[in-house]
Amino acid sequence: MECVETTHKINGMDIYSQAYFVENSVCNLLVLHDFGSSGAVYDSVGKYFSQQGMNVYFLDLPGCGKSGGVRGVVCKTEILDVVHAYIKIIKKTDMLTEEQLPLFVVGHGLSGLVSCDLCRYDHFINIVDGVVSINPIFKFNIHYEIIVFVLLTVLFFFIRTYSFTKLKVTFEETEKCSTCDKVISNTLDLKNYYNIVKWGREELNWNWSDKLPLLLIQSESDSISSPEATVQKSKCLLNISSSFMSVKGGTHYFVFTKNEEIIARRIVEWVKTILKKKQ
């Protein structure tokens, strides 16, 4: 099974992607990674999807993996613009074939919020057939927030004085910083933490459209995102084909874990159910 690598110029940035293509594919599947990760991490689950007759695309978001952009920065509008542009690229690729294949988007962690956002905006709803959100960060797990608080305490009381501006170090500037500076700036970026919290809160308070089916998946033992917040939001699923799956145990990172196959199999079953209804 050959992996096709491409780089597209989107909004002035080189955006890297990979794809697995299969003959007689039933649909296209776009997999979006968590914050600070890359599409390559999901290669094993992507191969599983392709074995089920799906074309699978992996996208490195701006500033992540092999894509261009400022490293370690969460910008909601920039991410959504890149995802929208890349979906158009997938659709344009389909035009070279005999038929336009249905498209599903799978987002994990921070990209779980991206998947949820697709249910809000018409320009996404009109070009996507369904979305999957795995362990979305609607809220941070209380234990994760405690860890952040402890790190802040150590930062401000036991290490030399840092301002909030000092914490916001760009990719270029980190090359000039000490090892201690790099660890702190990469691990504890307060602005990113705030941006993710704000994004998650917006999703919690926003009503999803009933036009787009959504599969919401949450690990019960997630150490980063709050399972309680996801369960609360699952009650807002409006589309008749939407569904919620609670995974016993598990962690925030579902790939390379015992739950990877369980979650991947559920996604395939759900996608095939949607496709059957479209026939």
Q: What pLDDT does 179 receive? A: 40
Report pLDDT for 151. 63
Confidence at residue 2, expressed as pLDDT on a 0 to 100 scale: 76
69 backbone dihedrals φ, ψ, rounded to 5°: 110, 165
DSSP H helical ranges for the chain: 43-51, 76-94, 110-117, 122-125, 142-158, 164-167, 171-174, 179-187, 190-205, 227-234, 260-278
Q: 70: Cβ–Cβ under 8 A, 6 or more apart, which residues?
A: 62, 63, 170, 171
Determine, yes or no, domain membership for 10.
yes
> Is 252 a domain residue?
yes
Question: Is 136 within a domain?
Answer: yes
Per the structure, the count of domains in the chain is 1
User: Domain containing 119 — which CATH number?
Assistant: 3.40.50.1820
Give tens-digit pLDDT for 50-97.
Answer: 999 999 999 999 999 999 998 878 899 999 999 999 999 998 876 556
> Could you tell me how far CA 141 lies from the centroid of its own chain?
17
Query: Which tokens in the block code for residue 2?
Result: 């050959």
Tally of helices (H runs) and strands (E runs) in the chain: 11, 8
Extract the residue ranges of the chain whose pLDDT is less than 70: 1, 94-98, 142-190
Domain contains 32: yes
* Whole-number pLDDT of residue 246: 95
Residue 196, domain member (yes or no): no
Query: What confidence score (pLDDT) does residue 144 get?
Result: 59
Domain annotation covers residue 194: no
Domain that holds residue 113: 3-140+208-278
Give pLDDT, residue 85: 96
